[in-house]
Amino acid sequence: MTPTFTLLIVDDEKQNRALLTELLQDEHRIILAKDGKQALERAREHLPDLILLDVLMPEMDGYTVIRALKNDDLTRNIPVIFITALDSPGDEERGLELGAVDYISKPFNPAIVRVRIRNHLQSVRQRRMLEQMAMLDSLTGIPNRRRFNEVFEQEWRRCMRDGAPLSLIVVDVDHFKAFNDTYGHAAGDEVLRRIAASLQTSLRRPGDFVARYGGEEFVMLLPGIDSEGARILCEHTRADVESERIAHAVSDVAPWITISLGGATRVPRDSTPNPELFSLADSCLYVAKNSGRNRVAWAPPAES
């Protein structure tokens, strides 16, 4: 069985770590920590799906650890189960108030531990599914604007760290309103689905990204690609859509569906994502549309 979830087990006693590992390792990937400091480091490094946390540890106890986890944006949503010899109602109440999702007393029943962990991980699975659905465009099945905003921030910061260029492209379907008025909204929806699929196919690297931005607009991110490479990819993308020959009798561009693209490339210099990159690409899209559509327009390089 391939492990689906990662569990972080935190306990200062080696015997307890070994016991829980033996109990859970057949179903899950196990990460171990022997104290609070190590727990925080490994939680940030591995972002486990669930943390099993002992309360009574020297130097930094479990209560201090969970406070630190909940105060960190990176780890605050990781569920924590306290496993401890403290079994008074007051101890349990304190742990739950600090954000623990469950409280298992030692000595524990292995079968009960497995069931409780399985139940909490089922909740994790369901939450992830809902989060994924919230990040997808319901019509085309590709990421939506909300997901684009997240990926843009991530890629901006990564390119800044690497000193690499980030290329952003805004895509618009030419005369789409006229298409809808002529062929109907059901046909228009099918066009958007086909274009979304075509845009996805044009992206050849794992880091490349496309999303539906809204209406008939799409947006593409190409981290690590300079303006020349990005423009070449965009020309191929434009040609691929045109080659599908989706009839568009009322377009003054071509007798089939075409797209216009505007793009810009910058090397991020600051950790805060700059919305100017999108604005530049969007301005170039208008240049492409005003120049006859079915073409690519690109922003000039930044001044040194």
pLDDT level of residue 107 (50, 70, 90 thresholds): confident
Q: What's the CA angle centered on 244, arms 239 and 264, to 5 degrees?
A: 30
- The reply to whether 25 and 149 lie within a common domain is no
The predicted pLDDT at position 4 comes to 77
84 is a domain residue? yes
Task: Give me the pLDDT at residue 228, please.
Answer: 94
Q: Is 129's pLDDT higher than 80?
A: no
With respect to residue 159, please indicate whether it lies within any of the assigned structural domains: yes
The reply to whether 128 and 151 lie within a common domain is no
CA–CA dist 166, 164 (Å, integer): 7
Mean pLDDT of 27-53: 91
Residue ending a domain, choose from 134, 155, 179: 134
pLDDT at 103: 81
216 and 281, same domain (yes or no):
yes
Report yes or no on 93 lying in a domain: yes
pLDDT for 122: 84
Q: What's at 147, amino acid-wise?
A: R
Mean pLDDT over 63-77 rounds to 89
Average of per-residue pLDDT values in the chain = 90
Do 91 and 200 lie in a common domain?
no
- Same structural domain for residues 212 and 81? no
Residue that finishes a domain, picked among 109, 134, 159: 134
User: Is residue 1 predicted with pLDDT exceeding 70?
Assistant: no
List the single range of 5-19, 80-94, 150-164, 186-200 with lowest mean pLDDT: 80-94
Give residue 186's pLDDT band: very low, low, confident or very high (50, 70, 90).
very high
Q: Are residues 212 and 258 in the same domain?
A: yes
If asked whether residues 151 and 254 sit together in one domain, one would say yes
Question: Which residues span the domain enclosing 92?
Answer: 6-134
> Which range among 127-141, 211-225, 290-304 shows the weakest confidence by mean pLDDT?
127-141
- DSSP classification of residue 58: S
What is the rounded end-to-end Cα distance, in angstroms, of the chain? 54
Structure confidence at residue 303 as a pLDDT band (50, 70, 90)? low
Q: Is residue 51 one of the residues assigned to a domain?
A: yes
CATH number at residue 182: 3.30.70.270
Clarify whether residues 289 and 161 are in a common domain: yes
Please indicate, yes or no, if residue 92 is contained in any of the structural domains.
yes
Instruction: Tell me which amino acid residue 179 is.
Output: F
Domain membership of residue 190 (yes or no) is: yes
Do 247 and 214 have their domain in common? yes
Q: How many domains does the chain have?
A: 2
Q: Are 261 and 285 in contact (CB under 8 A)?
A: yes
**Coil, helix or strand at residue 10:** strand
Q: What is the CATH number of the domain that holds 92?
A: 3.40.50.2300
| 280 within 8 A of 264, measured Cβ to Cβ | yes
In a domain, 304, yes or no: no
pLDDT of 216 strictly over 90: yes
Domain shared by 87 and 203, yes or no: no
The reply to whether 225 and 286 lie within a common domain is: yes
Give the end of a domain, one of 112, 134, 156: 134
- Assess whether 125 and 157 both reside in one domain: no
Domain assignment present for 1: no
Return the pLDDT at 144: 94
Active site positions, annotated: 216
141-180 pLDDT, tens per residue? 999 999 999 999 999 999 999 999 999 999 999 999 999 9
